[in-house]
Chain A
Amino acid sequence: MAGAVTRERREISPASNQRPFYAQFTPEQLKEALRRMCLIRRFEEGAEEAYMRGLIHGTMHLSIGQEASAVGATMALRKTDYITSTHRGHGHCIGKGADPKLMFAEFFGKEEGYCRGRGGSMHIADVESGNLGANGIVAGGIPIAVGAALAIKKQKRDDVALCFFGDGATNEGAFHEALNMASIWKLPVIFVCENNKYGMSVSTERSMAVANVADRASAYNMPGVIADGNRIEDVAEAVLTAIARAREGQGPTLVECKTYRTRGHSRSDRNRYRTKEEIEEWKLRDPIGHFETELVANGTATADEVAGIFAAADAEIAAGLEFAQNGTDPSPDEVTRDVYTSRIPA
């Protein structure tokens, strides 16, 4: 297995367990949230190692350091709610309930994978759990989420669509068009921006005319909320409020989670645009270490339970990698499968 999760223990303020978050979710839900965050971290470390060993081809975009926004935003969703995700979407996928072994199978390009090996890391989806898919196009999923929300409204369901995207996506036209329409039609959609400070190499300071992504919400007459993206409590509370608004027919909310990816943009990144000090500083704000410490400090989980969660995640990831490596390779005869719903003769 890859190196250990950073588990920096931080001072917990005495008031922290008084936050609404700890009353909004049951102890079981809180421990499940920690489990999913661990699973995301271990999954990505496992995928990274498999890539380094040449077992996986292509590229991947790791979200290590961003697990709190992925899980905090999805932990209050129902199975029938939708999410759309991004190229940095492994966490969203696991947050919404995907099985890591089927994700690994996808990474290995196997028939057992979520997309039968046709999508890979950048298009991973788990439609059964309401995940309409990662997306290789920055901002591509934003109007799609709005469309899913429109369908929900037309079908008179009380589900919501939650849309993940990065800071870079908010400079795309699709973001602005989609937020405007979501607002004028009061659609049940939650826009969750994971602002990790960089669109590939260009910082938000250099690429955005406003200081915060959340500031952009005012142009579309919707609430714009800033959350500490490395603190699951902060993310979950903000998203829970947004979900309630959406389910009640009050329309969309933009939640900006300020966070950081401690790995590079993708496999090609040489980290020339940021300092080692900046990266190290953010590693000290590790979302998993923080949450684990909180849960133990406030008596939600024992240290043994936390250790058990980590051990179980390790075992699940090891078994998942094993499963994926033993998967079935698609046949070249099947290369045009699923281009259309009915097979069209060549």
Chain B
Amino acid sequence: MNAPIRELTYAQAIQEALATAMEADERVFLMGEDIGVYGGAFQVTGDLVHRFGEDRVMDTPISELGAAGIAVGAALAGSRPVLEFQFSDFATLAMEQIVNQAAKMRFMLGGKVSVPLVMRLPSGSGTGAAAQHSQSLEAWLAHVPGLKVVQPSTPHDAKGLLLAAIDDPDPVMVFEHKLLYKMKGEVPEEAYRIPIGNAVVRREGRHVTIVATSIMVHRALEAAEVLAGEGIEAEVIDLRTLRPLDTATIIESVKKTTRLACVYEGVKTLGIGAEISALIAESEAFDYLDAPILRLGGVDSPIPYNPTLEKAAVPQTPGIIEQVRNLVKGRI
């Protein structure tokens, strides 16, 4: 008999990674708003405060900029802070410390220091929380040299990428999707790592490459399943890390499939899809292209409150099916 597969939610997997890291390394501590007895706005830290105490699971005042700076200073002085922003939107209040300080400190100081900190950013739309609690700002931060940016799409990756992020000597921004927190999946008990900078092929195919991030990986996989019934075999790549980008996996896939679609929740204009499109345009894969590149991203609008409009603001499975079908139709 095989041991039963252990399933955890995405939120539980993150909590397990935090607990594992804190048990293994006393330098690791958590900071954030309402992460103590409240358990975090999304119950990610849960009961960790009872297990590790208030010194290691620190409730901060509602002071995002100050907290981010404190994380930078603590990292410079030999600690390993993991800062939770209650919503990724609130990181805009801390942009100074993230962009000017954390990202640049090592470089500005000629490599004399490292800034080993992790920031966790619950992001994305679909919760009815409207324009200031639903954004996908990962491309903003991925635009900043010095930061690493990851976006786990499964409970398994949420644990493995977070453990890798906590190990990493440089600042890592972990964008978690709020709609994924309750998603269940297989999560091994051991302390495994998912290397930062490695995309993964979630489904193999030969007609079109769909590069997707975060929750869009699941929508792309649903779309691929439907399209397979129509004879269109889509290869789905889960990017997992926005910076550093795994260019080789994307280029190799596009050379094989000759078509590229990018599906992401962040605003389409000047977003991650533009970067991937340009990557292909500049690479040897360009000569293999049999169709224009397709980008499916968030519309040029804040996220609306109305549920119908909210859905319309970001890619949904039917739209992915239709547009990928049009990209491929009649050409295979």
A-side interface residues toward B, CB under 8 Å? 82, 84, 113-119, 123, 125, 127, 132-133, 135-137, 140, 142-152, 154-155, 161, 173-174, 176-178, 180-181, 184, 336-342, 344-345
Complex formed: what's the CA distance from A95 to B68 in Å? 28
Query: What sequence of 0s and 1s flags, for each residue 225-263 of chain B, a beta carbon within 8 Å of any chain A beta carbon?
Result: 000000000000000000010000000000000000000
Q: Determine whether B72 belongs to the interface, using a CB cutoff of 8 Å to chain A.
A: yes
On chain B, the number of residues with a Cβ less than 8 Å from chain A's Cβ atoms is 43
Q: Which of B65, B74, B169 contacts A148 (CB 8 A)?
A: B74
> A177-B61, A177-B63 given as contacts; is B96 within 8 A of A148 (CB)?
no
Tell me the bound Cα distance from A82 to B5 in angstroms. 49
Name the contact of B109 in the complex, choosing from A82, A133, A140, A145 (C-beta under 8 A). Answer: A133
Question: Which chain A residues lie closer than 8 Å to B27 at the CB level?
Answer: 154
A341: which of B63, B66, B145, B169 is its contact (CB, 8 Å)?
B169
> Nearest Cβ distance between residue B93 and chain A, in whole angstroms?
8
Would A144 and B101 be within 8 Å (CB), given that A340-B170, A341-B170 are in contact? yes
CB-based contact A151/B77 at 8 Å: yes
Q: How many A-B residue pairs have CB under 8 A?
A: 154
B243 CB → nearest A CB, Å: 9
Instruction: Report yes or no: A123 in contact with B109, Cβ–Cβ below 8 A.
Output: yes
* Chain A residues within an 8 Å CB radius of B76: 132, 144, 147-148, 151
The residue in A151, A184, A342 that gathers the most chain B C-beta atoms within 10 A of its C-beta is A151
Report yes or no: A117 in contact with B110, Cβ–Cβ below 8 A: yes
Could you tell me if A181 and B63 are in contact, using CB atoms closer than 8 angstroms?
Answer: yes
Q: Determine the residue in chain A with the shortest Cβ distance to B55.
A: A154
- A115, A136, A143, A344: the one contacting B65 at CB < 8 Å is A143
Q: Are B79 and A150 in contact (CB under 8 A)?
A: yes
Q: Is the CB of A125 within 8 A of B109?
A: yes
Measured between alpha carbons, how far is A123 from B81 in the docked complex, in Å?
23
Q: Does B206 contact A (CB under 8 A)?
A: no
Q: Is B331 an interface residue (CB 8 A)?
A: no
Cα A148 to Cα B78 in complex, Å, equals 8
Contact yes or no, B146 A181, CB < 8 A: no
Q: Which residue of A has the minimal Cβ distance to B197? A: A344
Q: With both chains docked as a complex, state the minimum distance between the C-beta of A176 and any C-beta of chain B, in angstroms.
A: 8
Contact yes or no, B78 A155, CB < 8 A: yes
- CB of A112, distance to nearest CB on chain B (Å): 10
Q: Are B108 and A123 in contact (CB under 8 A)?
A: yes
Give residues 124-174 of B contacting A (CB, 8 Å): 145-146, 148, 169-170
Tell whether B92 is near chain A: CB-to-CB under 8 Å.
Answer: no
